[in-house]
Amino acid sequence: MSEMIQTESLRFAYPVNEGEKPVYALRGVDVAIEKGSFVVVLGHNGSGKSTLAKTFNAVLLPAGGKVYVEGMDTLDESLLLDIRQRVGMVFQNPDNQIVANVVEEDVAFAPENLGVPTEEIRRRVDAALEAVGMEEFVTHAPHLLSGGQKQRIAIAGVIAMEPACVVLDEATAMLDPTGRREVLSAVHRLNREKGITVVLITHHMNEAEDADRVIVMDDGRVAMDGTPGEIFSQVARLRHLGLTVPDTVDLLDRLRRNGWDVPLDALGVEDCADAIARALGKS
């Protein structure tokens, strides 16, 4: 079994007032997230990307179709605890995710609830805080930290559960560039070194540059699915879906329209500069 998460004809509608027609936020989604992969989900507001993410650990249950987490059906209530232990979720607003008065207690919350032995909790809390670069703040009060720091504590809290998969639902949206970089490098490290599957829901196109795979949602369906290079080189289609392309791709696209021979999939700053330098005969 190599799929971490698999959905089959997944449909979901939020509750509406009596007599109103349900509006489907997801209208038939089939995706398979491979174990150990780093997948970014993009889409404009209302495209269904956050709804999709919330079905991945049974925060929301399918109204039609299925979601399987390591083969476990999320509709099977007896598997709920197992599923949530396998897939940890980090949300957008850190203020809604802090539960304790001291950082280390907050991070220990999940493993304590899972009945992990005390020494092991200590080890996990320290490791989790180190992974997000917050080890200095072990005994601080979370409410006195900045938004970015709080978010890293929330991520540490999930990591301390040692899940097989972490889903980040716009978890970087409230962070500054430094905070965002730190969080991203922390999740990339978890993915690389511990083989944790990462599903990152974001508005920030450049966070998708280093992903294994990018899924673009639109109107409750999967609109595009491929490697970052494949996705971002489709400039017109992305714009049509209400998304922007990274500035590097925008620049390359402009140069191509002027007849330059540069690739559209040089997403990174260095790759982009290499491509332009080559086109100018300076490499």
Nearer to other proteins, 157 or 179 (CB): 179
- Min dist. Cβ of residue 35 to other proteins (A): 29
d(CA 226, CA 276): 25
- Min dist. Cβ of residue 64 to other proteins (A): 24
CA dihedral 37, 169, 92, 102 (to 10 degrees): -50
Nearer to other proteins, 78 or 257 (CB): 257
Nearer to other proteins, 136 or 270 (CB): 270
Print burial letters for 128-138: b (CB count within 10 Å at least 16), e (below 16): bbebbbbeebe
- Min dist. Cβ of residue 158 to other proteins (A): 20
Nearer to other proteins, 15 or 117 (CB): 15
Nearer to other proteins, 46 or 64 (CB): 46
Query: What's phi and psi for 4, nearest 5 deg?
Result: -75, -50
From residue 28, give the alpha-carbon distance in Å to each of 9, 145, 227. Answer: 4, 41, 22
- In a 10 Å sphere around its CB, with 0-12 CB exposed, 13-18 middle and 19+ buried, how is residue 109 labelled? middle
Nearer to other proteins, 64 or 147 (CB): 147
- Give the helix ranges, DSSP H, for the chain: 49-55, 80-86, 103-113, 118-131, 147-159, 177-194, 228-232, 235-240, 247-257, 269-279
166 closest CA partner among 175, 179, 155: 155
- Min dist. Cβ of residue 233 to other proteins (A): 16
Distance of CA 93 to the CA centre of its chain: 14
Residues near other proteins, by CB under 8 A = 43-46, 92, 144, 146-149, 170, 173-179, 203, 205-206, 242-244, 246-248, 250-251, 254-255, 258, 260, 269-270, 272-274, 276-277, 280, 282-283
**Which one-letter amino acid corresponds to residue 81?**
L
CB 132 within 8 A of CB 156: yes
- Residue 268 CB partners (closer than 8 Å, separation 6+): 209, 248
Query: What's phi and psi for 238, nearest 5 deg?
Result: -60, -45
- Min dist. Cβ of residue 131 to other proteins (A): 19
Nearer to other proteins, 114 or 280 (CB): 280
CB 160 within 8 A of CB 133: no
Nearer to other proteins, 106 or 170 (CB): 170
- Min dist. Cβ of residue 82 to other proteins (A): 32
- Min dist. Cβ of residue 111 to other proteins (A): 28
- Min dist. Cβ of residue 20 to other proteins (A): 12
